[in-house]
Amino acid sequence: MPTTMLFAPTPDQAALRDSFRRFCAAPETQRSGAGGARKTWRALADMGIPGVLVPEHLGGSEGSLADAAIVSQELGRSLILSPFLPVAVLTARFLTSGPTAGRASQVLERLTDGNGITVLAHDEDRSRGLPATRAVALGGKRFLLNGAKALVPFADIADTYLISTRLDADGAAGDGPAFFCVDARTPGVSCAPLHLLDGTPVANVSLTDVSLDAEALVSPPGASLQRLLAAQRSAAVCACAEMVGIMDGVLSAVRSHLGARSQYGAALNTFQVLQHRFADMYAATELARAMLQHMLVADVDPDRPPADGAAAAAFAYVAAKGQFVTSNGIQLHGAVAMTEGHRAGCYFRRLRVLSTLYAADGDQR
């Protein structure tokens, strides 16, 4: 049985796509705001969606990245605000790429059953390479954390953070970042909520003299950097899938609009110039879909390891096609698409946020 879909999904993937599309279309799923995101997360857990990349012995379905991409694509098509990308993909991929015992196992089990939201907090305002956030080893197998993380998605509704730090032991920094599991209610942890262009809740997380025990260290220096890069590539692939879903949604909305509106006594979809513009949008969408398929194949094919920068180049390609499709979606709808709540504008804003938050190469941002 193939581990990824090529140009046609497997029967199981088709069933997942169809059932999840019905879920996304349900009126109760169309929510916004932090409270709505948490309710949507619990509804996703009822379908087993958060555990799509989690091993079976931890309660997940142990699916492939193609399965996660199907979910992302439907979320993009339906404009559903959900922590799926930062939690079920980025966090889950990071934790499952290493030992899944102790605190990591507990986090994954809570993630899978929908009772916990854990977000990975790595980005900082003025840091490149090793994070500026520091963890100092104290006596009695304890650590003291100080630092700040910027624009952490869904941090305001998260129960736990995976914090990347520069681990200082005996006065020397370790080889690469270390990751600590930090409860959001731990003394010294503060969260300043913000909202991005598309309404996605983010927060700046500050840590001041946060004291943790040794079990909180879920990924010591050494392999952590490679685990992080691999998880970020997986998130970038699923972000591309969501962008393709957004493009599909724009095409559907434009097709309906051009068929329903008329000018000079003729339907808009009979105007040759608009037909050509729509054809260009359709071609851009299919090219982006083909690039997504290429990324999915490269993820599972050991004979086709991705070249350095290939994921970043593919992401940039899909984002550029998405920018073309969503901006033309606004133009073909006319002035009404410039209003705050119009779907064409929402698609445009969501794609802009995705192309910034989940760029496969941090410098690409």
Choosing from 89, 115, 141, the residue where a domain stops is 115
Give residue 298's pLDDT: 75
Q: Token digits for 96?
A: 């499952």
Asked if 358 and 231 sit in the same domain, the reply is yes
Q: What pLDDT is stored for residue 94 in this prediction?
A: 96
Say if residues 284 and 250 touch (Cβ distance below 8 Å): no
The verdict on 93 and 141 lying in the same domain is no
DSSP-derived letter for residue 61 is -
Where do runs of H (alpha helix) occur along the chain?
Answer: 11-25, 33-46, 65-78, 92-96, 103-112, 224-260, 272-300, 310-333, 343-357
CATH code (residue 231): 1.20.140.10
Distance from C-alpha of 154 to C-alpha of 111, rounded to nearest angstrom: 14
In a domain, 47, yes or no: yes
Would 333 be classed as within a structural domain? yes
Is 5 part of any domain? no
The reply to whether 167 and 153 lie within a common domain is yes
pLDDT confidence of residue 33: 46
322 shares its domain with 244: yes
d(CA 207, CA 144): 10
Output the six-digit token pair for 132: 């500026």
Query: Is the residue at 160 inside a domain?
Result: yes
Asked if residue 225 lies in contact with residue 174, where contact means CB atoms within 8 angstroms, the answer is no
CATH code (residue 165):
2.40.110.10
Q: Are strands 217-219 and 178-183 parallel, antiparallel or unpaired?
A: antiparallel
Q: How many C-beta neighbours within 10 Å does residue 357 have?
A: 19
- Establish if 183 belongs to a structural domain: yes
The CATH number covering residue 102 comes to 1.10.540.10
262 and 351 belong to one structural domain:
yes
Number of H helices, E strands in the chain: 9, 11
Give how many domains the chain has, as a whole number.
Answer: 3
Q: Give the pair of three-digit tokens for residue 51.
A: 């555990």
Domain assignment of residue 53, given as a range: 11-115
Alpha-helical regions (H) of 79-194: 92-96, 103-112
**Amino acid sitting at position 324:** F
Same domain, residue pair 208 and 232:
no
Contact 178, 165 (CB under 8 A): yes
Which of 220, 250, 267 is the last residue before a domain boundary? 220
Which value, in Å, is the radius of gyration of the alpha carbons in the chain? 21
Flag whether 2 is in a domain. Answer: no
- 290 occurs within a structural domain: yes
Q: Are 256 and 203 found together in one domain?
A: no
Work out the angle at residue 84's Cα, subtended by the Cα atoms of residues 83 and 88, and round it to the nearest 5 degrees. Answer: 115
- Structure-token pair, residue 66: 């193609």
Can you tell me whether residue 318 is helix, strand or coil?
helix
What residues contact residue 206 under an 8 Å CB cut-off, 6+ apart? 147, 148, 149, 189, 190, 191, 192
Do 349 and 237 lie in a common domain? yes
- Report the chain (365 residues): mean pLDDT per 10 consecutive residues: 55 92 81 66 91 93 94 95 95 91 91 93 83 88 94 94 86 73 96 93 96 94 90 94 98 95 90 96 97 84 61 92 97 90 94 90 50
Final residue of a structural domain among 98, 115, 132? 115
CB-count exposure of residue 342 (10 Å: 0-12, 13-18, 19+) = middle
- Residues 29, 101 within the same domain: yes
Residues 290 and 350 in one domain: yes
Based on the domain organization, do 35 and 78 belong to the same domain?
yes
Asked whether residue 129 is domain-assigned, the answer is yes
Q: Are the beta carbons of 112 and 119 closer than 8 angstroms?
A: no
- Residue 74 has which token pair? 């439907």
Residues 247, 347: one domain? yes
Give the up-direction half-sphere exposure of residue 131: CA atoms within 13 A in the CB hemisphere: 28
CA pair distance 321, 281, nearest whole angstrom:
8
